Structure 1
């Protein structure tokens, strides 16, 4: 079995020595090629080339950003999909994810251990046993995502966290909490919520201050604690929407407190839940922060979301 290991050398929880151990372990199960990413978007290029050359498994070592790039590379491979009549997942290489980032939401949502050593062991057993599952993905305009996307407050928080990390700060629950508080106190969307959701054949949902889109649950983790805006979200269903109608400090703080519990599933007049959606568009009255799988992607005024069922085969 031919496999490609895509390594993000900046992965936060691994070292050069541990990467060497991983390579030796994988080579006991597959015929392995190793590539290191050198720039943003490089993992997508490597994964697409692997798919088009007939590689059977793409393994990533990195965080959720590396996984997202690799998934987009696989999903845009052309020759692997030529003449395909069934689900594309059967024509593409399978994806195996070794957790190497600070949060690793996608890997943990698949049920993989947080530690890269234990995660590698699960992947090796699955490869030897021929074990995999097929999952759905989300798509925002022309880019796929694995677990979540957001427009508004949560994307603005991701932007703040990324800016802090560029200044040398570590990604911790405390950093996210401070970023949320800072954005709530300085954001201008509390008085005039700018977002609306448009769905085919349904009246628009308007006056929204934030929109979270989930392809699975949890949405993220605070350390070891999963956060569940929509606990029913699943890789096997459509996309779940959780939106806040207003960003008043009191009501938003109450919602965040609900999210901080292990149960999650926030309720209240300001909370809108729309589960298992096939297609919808988020429209903003002015450009809003936008994130996919925890990566800040700039500002958008309109994003079309589509659920893509049976899209990807994963080793887990």
Structure 2
């Protein structure tokens, strides 16, 4: 039987992480899964905890939080892999958005999440790596890199009361319409092709959605060896408002301002303006001019629901 090391972010979901620990303990013990549990104490702490747990021999490192916690654990697992040790990723959702869990097929409810760990179905998925901004050495990501509007929205969402992932993100979107009227003009180089355009945002997706309900890449698959890019050309505030329902339904590819692309390697360079950017909800750039992004195929094993199981 695999051994599990749970890394709980007590601040996830406005304190839901800390409040969930007794229930997590009860469910893990009821399932008779051998586990240890630690809590993060600061931003970035889960990276080191995940690396240490993998090196200590845990088979599955379980991120208990939201997308930010999952991202840190992914980076810790990749650090351990660099040292020759591999471990699988598990997820228990106690955060706000949980977009990465949705992308890989992990249920949001804690009881269902622990049942998924117990069934131990494994899936190999792709990862991304972005270099630039505050991470010139590179940072791995599971869901996305967002440049422009969605990065500013991420900053605004962090300022809001913790109403829940989707509601907070929706309110932040509406605020950003008035705070971020003009995005950068970018040169986008992707797999030997090039595009130069004024943009509202560029979303590089390994998953499908952002903010708990905005379907940036509705047909993306995290194991197909390709990023799905959603490039939104600069448009008026009125037009941004009109596009919001399309992103909520995943029908934005039908709109003239939207261009959907696929690629494995991408460079984004600001020709005019700068590149505010986030990855998996963490801000990595506010004033920088260039980001380099590459896909790493089948780089991470995840414990997830089997095909046909509800996620």
Query: 1:213, CA displacement in angstroms?
Result: 0.9
* Counterpart contact for 1:196–1:208, Cα < 8 Å: no
CA distance in 1, matches of 2:108, 2:204: 23
What's 1:290 paired with? 277
1:88 aligned partner: none
CA drift of 1:174 comes to 3.6
2:127 counterpart residue number: 137
**Partner of residue 10, structure 2:** 9
Distance 1:236 1:100, change over 3 A: same
More displaced, 117-126 or 66-75? 117-126
TM-score w.r.t. structure 2 length? 0.86
Q: Tell me which residue corresponds to 1:184.
A: 177
In 2 relative to 1, CA 279–116 (structure 1 residues): closer, same or farther, beyond 3 Å? same
2 CA distance for matches of 1:174 and 1:120?
A: 26
Deviations 1:200-221 (A, max 9, x none): 4323332222101110223442
Equivalent residue number for residue 293 of structure 2: 305
Q: Do structure 1's residue 217 and structure 2's residue 208 form an aligned pair?
A: yes
Give aligned pairs, total: 292
Deviant stretches of 4+, over 6 Å:
none
SS of the residue aligned with 1:209? strand
Deviation at 1:74, TM superposition (A): 0.5
CA drift of 1:303 comes to: 0.8
**Does the 8 Å CA contact 1:52/1:79 hold for their aligned counterparts?**
no
Confirm or deny: 8 A CA contact 1:251 1:270 kept in the other structure. no
Q: Does the aligned pair in 2 maintain the 1:229–1:266 contact within 8 Å?
A: no
Distance 1:64 1:291 in 2: 12
| Distance change >3 Å, CA 115–CA 208, structure 1 → 2 | same
Q: Distance in 2 between matches of 1:201 and 1:302?
A: 17
User: 2:185, 2:39 → 1: CA distance?
Assistant: 41
Alpha carbons of structure 1 residues 174 and 51: separation in structure 2 relative to 1, 3 Å: closer
Does 1:31 pair with 2:34?
yes
Q: CA 1:124/1:74 → structure 2, altered by over 3 Å: closer, same or farther?
A: same
Instruction: Tell me, in whole angstroms, the C-alpha distance in 2 between the residues paired with 1:149 and 1:304.
Output: 11
Task: Give the corresponding residue for 2:235.
Answer: 247
Equivalence for 1:149: 145
Q: How does 1:60-71 map to 2 (within 5 A)?
A: 60-71=63-74
Distance 2:17 2:193 in 1: 51
CA distance change for structure 1 residues 228 and 15 in 2, over 3 Å: closer, same or farther? closer
* 1:79 CA drift (Å): 6.0
How far apart, CA to CA, are the structure 2 residues paired with 1:8 and 1:25?
A: 18
Offset from partner CA, 1:32-89 (integer Å, 9 cap, x none): 22111000000000111122222211012111111100000111225642xxxxxxxx
- 1:41-56 to 2 correspondence within 5 Å? 41-56=44-59
Residue equivalent to 2:114: 120
CA RMSD, 1 decimal: 2.2
Mean CA deviation greater in 49-58 or 15-24: 15-24
Question: Residue 276 of structure 2 contacts residue 285 of structure 2 at CA under 8 Å; is this kept in 1?
Answer: yes
CA contact (8 A) 1:95 1:314 kept: yes
Match of 1:279 in 2: 265
Instruction: Write out per-residue CA displacement over residues 278-313 of structure 1, whole angstroms, 9 at most, x where no aligned residue.
Output: 101111233332111122234132111111101100
* Structure 1 residue 199 displacement after superposition: 2.5
Q: 1:151–1:291: 8 Å Cα contact kept in structure 2?
A: yes
CA contact (8 A) 1:230 1:240 kept: yes
What secondary structure sits across from 1:266 in the alignment?
A: helix
